[in-house]
Amino acid sequence: MSEPPAFEIVNAKGSSQYVLTCEHASNYIPARYRNLGLPEAELQRHIAYDIGAAGMSRLLSKALDAPLVLSGYSRLLIDCNRPLHSPTLMPAVSETTEIPGNRNLSAAEIEERATAFYWPYQNAVASLLDERKARGQNTILLAMHSFTPVFKGVRRPWHGGILFRKSERLGEMLVQRLNAPSRPVEANQPYQISDDGDYTIPVHGEARGLEAVLFEVRQDLIAAPEGQKAWASLIAQALD
């Protein structure tokens, strides 16, 4: 059986100033990894991918005429939004679930996964950004993610979060436009961008001098196509 590619680019030549990325788009794990020792049900959870993020990102790409790069494999194999030195790059425990197939990985195994699933994605994002720069096209980078409503037993009150460090003005504007009494959206929740816990915003965004923010939408709100459509159109309006 042939394996899917490590990344997919949608609308590569899109005219928008926005470029979308989706690091946790897929829960796919090749058969030879035997689900990393996990029961199938665990692979349907947020630990394996960002539920709804790929569908929402595709709709947003269409609405904005923006390029979109999606990763092709589960974050449990290797997390495309982590630097290679991150302790959660290939987690032996994710949230509270042990990942047997990530225990005691050899340097060779780590390198094999990085070569097969990580660098092809990072290089695709980098090439896309290089090409736009060469064409003189302005770029604002948007990383699209979803989060679990309950993490380690704690309920999270937000419907969405806008995560940013340097792009304060853009980030605050998006919070202001998306936040509503019935739809709490907050800055830098449920996570904060860090050099150890993130790759896309620090490396593909900030290090290139690009405006860059990360969207987090609560996964149950975008698990179904209607929710993905609603949030894609909300975000498109906020970006207008």
Applying CB under 5 A, the residues found at the interface with Zn ion are 24, 50, 145
Q: Is the peptide bond preceding residue 190 cis, with omega within 30 degrees of 0?
A: yes
CB of 144 to Zn ion, least distance (A): 8
CB of 5 to Zn ion, least distance (A): 20
CB of 205 to Zn ion, least distance (A): 15
Residue 88 exposed, middle or buried by CB count within 10 Å (0-12, 13-18, 19+): middle
Q: Which is nearer to Zn ion, 30 or 197 (CB)?
A: 197
Q: What is the enclosing helix (H) or strand (E) of 97? A: strand 97-98
Q: Tell me which residue has its CB nearest to Zn ion.
A: 145
Reading the block at residue 98, the tokens are 């042990």
Orientation angle between helical segments 225-239 and 168-178, nearest 10 degrees: 130
Phi, psi of 155 (to 5 degrees): -80, 135
CB of 133 to Zn ion, least distance (A): 26
Reading the block at residue 48, the tokens are 């394996």
Q: Which is nearer to Zn ion, 38 or 80 (CB)?
A: 80
CB of 2 to Zn ion, least distance (A): 26
**C-alpha distances out from residue 121 to 25, 48, 61, 93, Å:** 12, 17, 18, 24
Residue 174 exposed, middle or buried by CB count within 10 Å (0-12, 13-18, 19+): buried
CB of 50 to Zn ion, least distance (A): 4
Q: Which is nearer to Zn ion, 24 or 165 (CB)?
A: 24
Q: Which is nearer to Zn ion, 17 or 72 (CB)?
A: 72
Q: Do 214 and 162 meet the contact criterion of CB atoms below 8 Å apart? A: yes
Q: Which is nearer to Zn ion, 132 or 142 (CB)?
A: 142
Q: Which is nearer to Zn ion, 206 or 216 (CB)?
A: 216
Q: Which is nearer to Zn ion, 45 or 137 (CB)?
A: 45
Other CB atoms closer than 10 Å to residue 209's CB: what's the count? 8
Nearest CA to 217 out of 229, 205, 231 is that of 231
CB of 106 to Zn ion, least distance (A): 27
